[in-house]
Structure 1
Amino acid sequence: MFCSFIFTDATHFNGGTIRWSPIDPYDNDTSNGIDIIQSYSWTYPNIQCAKDVPISTSGRSNANANLTCVVDCSTDGGYSNAPISILTDCISFNSTSKTLISERSSNVTLSADAHFYLAYTGSAWVALNHPLQSGLQWSIVTYIDLRKRPDGFINTPPVANFVSPQYTMVNQTTQINIPVSDENTGDDVRCRWSTYTAGYRRRKRSEEEHIEHQSVTHVYNKL
């Protein structure tokens, strides 16, 4: 498996989200269209508000890369033949908080029943822990699954409105509110802490799982 690593120093990238939704959840063709939406947070003015963030900022012309399949790539529905880039467009910035938000939606057509993990990966994350550890690897991952649900349509994943990064004090309990919602009426939204298992950044369900219905706020009492 080939993995693309982007050396992103902590002075400009603050994380973000990758989400997707089917264009027609009831599509029965041999291929299905989806929208992949990338939203990222950057440090302003280290990164300038423009199109094609971050390469539109002077000195970062080589910072482009593609979202890559990292797990279950044999069933990626042809994504790896025509991957999309991590470039996004500035939608807002705040000079006081020194933050910039960029976003881009890309239309992708995949084979029906495709299912795989798609990621933006990199290294050199901001130093963390105590004592500080630098050069940490990071990944922003989404799971795309175009297989039909038992009730006959493609699921639209829930959305978590979460601002990155979140800071906490060492050895101090911190409460973080994560508002989540689901377009599929009646679905349960399940949030959980991941735990490491063998394999490329694989995660399994943790022993503690918080289950609520859509459009609720989940409160986690530990990190």
Structure 2
Amino acid sequence: MEQVSYRVLSILFTLCYVLDGSHFRGGIISWRPLNNSVTGTTTQILLHQRYFWWRMYSGFSGYLCTEHDVVVGTLINIIPAATLMCLRNCTSSTYPSSGVTVNMITSDCDSNPLIESWGGELYTTLTLPITTSITIGYTSSAWLTALYIGGGQGWSIVNRMNLALRPDGYINSSPVTTTLPCILYQRNVSIVHVVQMADNDATDTLLCRWSNSNSSYNYNQNDECVGVCKAMPAGTTLTASNCTLQFILPNASIYYACALQIEDYYDTTSPHPMSSVPIQFLFYAYNKGAGACTTAPSIIGVRPNRACIGVPVGVQLNETVEIQTYCPGQTIIDLVTSSPYGMQHSAISNPSTGK
């Protein structure tokens, strides 16, 4: 009999309290105008940041996050106090000279020994002149040490915010993307992995590229990745038009950092992008255990895999993730998540005997 597992997700927004955190495992920075029509010389921008941290980091002083931190919205207060700074062309904008905090509100906590991630996100509203064309970034140290390339080195994650009017007369919105903090794949097997990308400006052309350190060449005019530029194994390919990676992870029990930029062009003839969104995350390679099921579990049920769910503001949403396994005795023991803050994660139930 095929086994089915369920997980219930509930959204509930609450208050927060303060903790400390560090040790980088990736992140995303994006933005959009609250009103894309020009109504004056300034506009309000909603800036979104998401970062993942090593849950076991000593800077947390022995505190280990749990689902309780998701429920109450614990603030992940980074040590030392860290900010998203303007890095290039700063005189074009009134972006705060002291930067914008990167202290996230807890959205996810995973105690799986292979993941050990504490993740969060933050939305900040800024009023900026439409002359703004700046590179903003969060740079510090250090990545986790157990990386295939770049272990223990510094990080740089940067975004280009350009509020110059588009050819259609509107203010641009950057692309959006999402990822899990760490994706597990079997060692020495050819993998095809799709990085999701979308844009509120539906007609834009989106292209995905490797982050790089060539500040005189890339659109951000800044080192975009420091220690993890092209940190995937040799032979890895990236298809720009759909942000699809194809690769083989050669070594087991180690992590692989992936650093990409997603950029939007007005159309296929545009010579330059209008914005640049970073996404940095991890892969982990494992050896297949003896007797392991040859067919991977799959997400079934009402919501298909990669479903996009629209939710009215201020309305509680309950969702069930239904997973099917294909071997006797196989159960689901953990789901890795990257959620909006306020989304609570229930325990996993296994109603089938798996026989």
**Paired residues of 1:125 and 1:137 also in contact (CA < 8 A):** yes
- Looking at structure 1, the residues matched to 126 and 138 of structure 2 have their Cα atoms a distance apart, in angstroms, of 16
Tell me which amino acid in the other structure corresponds to 1:123: S
Deviations 1:135-187 (A, max 9, x none): 41211111111100010101111112223356789998653320111111222
CA separation in 2, counterparts of 1:72 and 1:171?
44
Matches within 5 A, 1:38-49: 38-44=49-55, 46=57, 48=65, 49=69
Report the 3-state secondary structure (helix = DSSP H, G, I; strand = E; otherwise coil) of the residue aligned with 1:74. Answer: helix
Going from structure 1 to structure 2, the CA distance change for 1:126 and 1:92 (only over 3 Å counts) comes to closer
Q: Note closer, same or farther for the CA distance 1:9–1:184 as it changes in structure 2 (3 Å cut).
A: closer
Are residue 143 (structure 1) and residue 168 (structure 2) matched?
A: no
Could you say if the C-alpha distance between residues 43 and 123 of structure 1 is closer, same or farther in structure 2, counting changes exceeding 3 Å?
Answer: closer
1:47-62 superposed matches below 5 A? 48=65, 49=69, 50-55=73-78, 62=79
Residue in structure 1 matched with residue 196 of structure 2 by the alignment: 179
Q: 1:33 maps to which residue?
A: 44
Find the aligned partners of 1:219 and 1:209 in 2 and give their Cα distance.
Answer: 6
Q: Does 1:159 align with 2:176?
A: yes
Counterpart position of 1:68? 85
Question: Is residue 2:192 matched to residue 1:192?
Answer: no
- Structure having greater relative contact order (Cα 8 Å, sep ≥ 6): 2
**Do the aligned partners of residues 129 and 66 (structure 1) sit closer, same or farther apart at CA in structure 2, a change above 3 Å counting?**
closer
- Give SS of 1:140's match: strand
Amino acid at match of 2:154: Q
Q: 1:86-106 CA distances to partner (integer Å, 9 max, x unpaired)?
A: 111112323334322211101
Whole-angstrom CA distance in 2 between matches of 1:88 and 1:81 = 20
Query: What's the Cα RMSD here?
Result: 3.1
Cα 1:135–1:211 shift into 2, 3 Å: closer
Write the mapping of 1:108-123 to structure 2, written as runs, cut at 5 A. Answer: 108-123=126-141
* Contact 2:193–2:245 under 8 Å retained in 1: yes
TM alignment of 1:123-134, pairs within 5 A: 123-127=141-145, 134=151
Q: Distance in 1 between the 2:176 and 2:201 partners? A: 11
Q: Is the 8 A contact 1:15 1:165 kept in 2?
A: no
Of all paired residues, the percent bearing the same amino acid is 24
Question: What TM-score results when the alignment is normalised by the length of structure 2?
Answer: 0.49
Structure 2 counterpart of 1:87, one-letter code? N
Structure-2 change in CA distance of 1:193 and 1:98 (3 Å)? closer
